[in-house]
């Protein structure tokens, strides 16, 4: 099937992405003391040179000790840190791509090996077990301001957009998910109440970056501890979940799935993906993701297994049907930074597969 339509630009606010391919955010823990070095700039530059139109960085921790651990996860505070990110954005721009910073608070999933107590909506983890402590209501405004402060800083050091990490069981997702949100103070209970704090974060970020700077919001049904988890059981609930985020200022949604082609609500539509439903109920641009170009779904590899490439025919069908506007690629770009250029040139058929361990070494 022809791919030329995937190489058309897309404009969202002040951002113009030169094509419809994004690099998915993938944690690396390769920034000692939170400072992104020359190797980080080169890592992202190679994917920009390889044809990706939008790079979404690894999670960038908020400037708060409770936000994330270890401290080799990059941050967005300090002169040396900001100089490092300036080199990253300059390198990506020099090779013709755009770049968004993913802002991250791990919530109750934070590793407490350093003695810092994790915080979350209710002091429980994704298994429903006690973990850390519950945030006080008057602490929420400060966290929203940390997101806003980091977004403003990202804009100032050359990032073209920010993505708020509201997926996979981290802090914002912990508010959305009824298993981790047991609050009774107006931030828990109904789905609309559980969306309240993430929407307040979006509104704070919007106020900090202005009306035209793009805000991407990543969300997911699945969690790191439960692939079968759900925060919206049908399209009506999905619309109820996302509407307050749209009103607060989200420009683009990034529904994270393990298989981009899987139907989200089979009882309502046997084919429409979560990306497709997200676009249908919000009308906003959407980023699809999940095992793009690979035979195996995310986190299904076995040690020593060679992962074979898969046809992108289904992906092209989804794009042609209007299910998404941008597609994010993860593991395939680790294995082959030039994957997008090779797709454009029709050369992917010569790719014989890769070893997951070798590919994942690119994260380091």
Q: What is the CATH number of the domain that holds 262?
A: 3.20.20.70
| Set 43, 44, 170, 261: catalytic member | 170
d(CA 326, CA 349): 22
CB atoms within 10 A of CB 81: 21
170 is catalytic: yes
**Are the C-beta atoms of 58 and 100 separated by less than 8 Å?**
no
Q: What is the domain extent for residue 143? A: 4-363
CA 96 from centre of chain: 21
For residues 95-127, one letter each, b for 16 or more C-beta atoms within 10 angstroms of the residue's C-beta and e for the rest, the string is eebbbbbbbbbbbbbbeeeeebebbbbbbbbbe
| Residues of the chain below pLDDT 50 | 364
For the chain, how many structural domains are there in total?
1
pTM for this entry: 0.94
Q: What local confidence, expressed as pLDDT, does residue 361 receive?
A: 55
Q: What local confidence, expressed as pLDDT, does residue 293 receive?
A: 73
Alpha helices in the chain (DSSP H): 38-49, 79-94, 140-156, 171-176, 191-194, 196-209, 235-248, 274-282, 313-320, 331-335, 339-345, 356-360
Nearest to 201 by CA among 245, 238, 237, 168: 245
Q: What local confidence, expressed as pLDDT, does residue 331 receive?
A: 87
Q: What local confidence, expressed as pLDDT, does residue 362 receive?
A: 58
d(CA 44, CA 33): 19
Q: What local confidence, expressed as pLDDT, does residue 351 receive?
A: 52
d(CA 285, CA 283): 7
């Amino acid at each position: 099937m022809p791919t030329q339509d995937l190489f058309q630009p897309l404009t969202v606010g002040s951002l113009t992405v030169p094509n419809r391919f994004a690099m998915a955010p993938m944690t690396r823990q390769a920034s000692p003391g939170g400072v992104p070095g020359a190797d980080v700039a080169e890592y992202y530059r190679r994917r920009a040179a390889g044809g990706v139109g939008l790079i979404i960085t690894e999670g960038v921790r908020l400037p708060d000790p409770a936000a994330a651990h270890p401290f080799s996860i990059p941050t967005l505070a300090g002169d040396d840190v900001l100089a490092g990110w300036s080199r990253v954005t300059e390198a990506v721009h020099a090779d013709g791509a755009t770049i968004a910073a993913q802002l991250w608070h791990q919530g109750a999933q934070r590793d407490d090996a350093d003695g810092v107590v994790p915080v979350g909506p209710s002091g429980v983890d994704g298994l429903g077990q006690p973990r850390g402590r519950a945030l006080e209501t008057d602490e929420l405004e400060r966290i929203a301001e940390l997101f806003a402060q980091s977004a403003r800083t990202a804009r100032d050091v050359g990032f073209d957009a920010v993505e708020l990490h509201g997926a996979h069981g981290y802090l914002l997702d912990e508010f959305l998910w009824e298993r981790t949100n047991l609050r009774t103070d107006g931030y828990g209970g109904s789905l609309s109440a559980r969306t309240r704090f993430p929407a307040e974060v979006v509104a704070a970020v919007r106020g900090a970056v202005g009306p035209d700077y793009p805000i991407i919001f990543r969300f997911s049904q699945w969690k790191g501890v439960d692939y079968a988890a759900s925060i919206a059981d049908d399209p009506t609930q999905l619309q109820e979940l996302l509407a307050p985020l749209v009103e607060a200022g989200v420009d683009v949604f990034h529904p994270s799935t393990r298989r981009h082609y899987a139907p989200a609500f089979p009882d309502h539509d046997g084919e429409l993906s979560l990306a497709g439903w997200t676009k249908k109920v919000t009308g906003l641009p959407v980023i699809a993701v999940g095992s793009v170009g690979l035979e195996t779904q995310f986190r299904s590899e076995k040690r020593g297994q060679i992962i074979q490439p898969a046809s992108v025919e289904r992906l092209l069908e989804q794009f042609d049907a209007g299910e998404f506007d941008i597609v994010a690629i993860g593991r395939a770009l680790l294995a082959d930074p030039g994957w997008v250029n090779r797709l454009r040139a029709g050369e992917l058929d010569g790719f014989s597969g890769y070893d997951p361990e070798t590919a994942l070494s690119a994260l380091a």
